[in-house]
Amino acid sequence: FRFFKTWWEVPAHQLGNKWKTLNNGGSFSPLINDGLLVAQFDDNWVEYKPLSGFRLESESWFGKAGVGWGKRTDFMYAYPLPAGSMFSNEGHCAFPKQSVATWPLIAFFNSSLGQDLINLFCGQHKLAGYISKVPCPPLDSREMERAGALAKLGWEICRSISKTNEQSEFYVAWY
């Protein structure tokens, strides 16, 4: 566990700098990621390169805000991927061209229609390449903007509840 840790194992001043939030999938959790893992960030990947089997993909997308989900799941679930994050082969992501489309996309991915369509295209492995082929309603429509607003409200409620969970990256206190 040299390069991956839980967020509470890392000194607070190193979070977001040397250690970045890692989207590595996880258990079914619509709207909110457990946010447990962080990965060591190395500008030139000097410490990683000597490792057998090290392969870096899509590095240009590291740090961008988007939508994340776990690759292996029976039911699609999506949550916001915060700016400054990294992702692995187990945690896939989408990066809407316009940031205003993030919440409507999360709403669609977590809807029963979105889940059914994604399962038709992907089966159990929700690879980003397959997900990109799924037909999606216009994210800038009034209906999708409303669905996105409700998804964001749901996320805010989940985040508020997570503030009392010691394992959550949103933890503040037990009371």
- In three-state form (DSSP H/G/I as H, E/B as E, the rest C), the secondary structure along the chain is CCCEEEHHHCCHHHECCCEEEEECCCCCCCCCCCCCEEEECCCCCCCCCCCCCCCCCCHHHCCCCEEEEECECCCCCCEEECCCCEECCCEEEECCCCHHHHHHHHHHHHCHHHHHHHHHHHCCECCHHHHCCCCCCCCCCHHHHHHHHHHHHHHHHHHHHHCCCCCCCCCCCCC
pTM, 2 dp: 0.89
pLDDT at res. 1: 64
- The pLDDT tens digits along the chain (175 residues) read 688 899 889 998 998 889 998 998 888 889 988 778 999 988 788 888 888 887 788 888 999 999 999 998 888 999 999 999 999 888 999 999 888 999 999 999 999 999 999 999 988 889 998 999 999 999 999 999 999 999 999 999 999 988 888 888 777 766 5
What local confidence, expressed as pLDDT, does residue 172 receive? 74
Task: Give the pLDDT of residue 174.
Answer: 61
pLDDT score of 173: 67
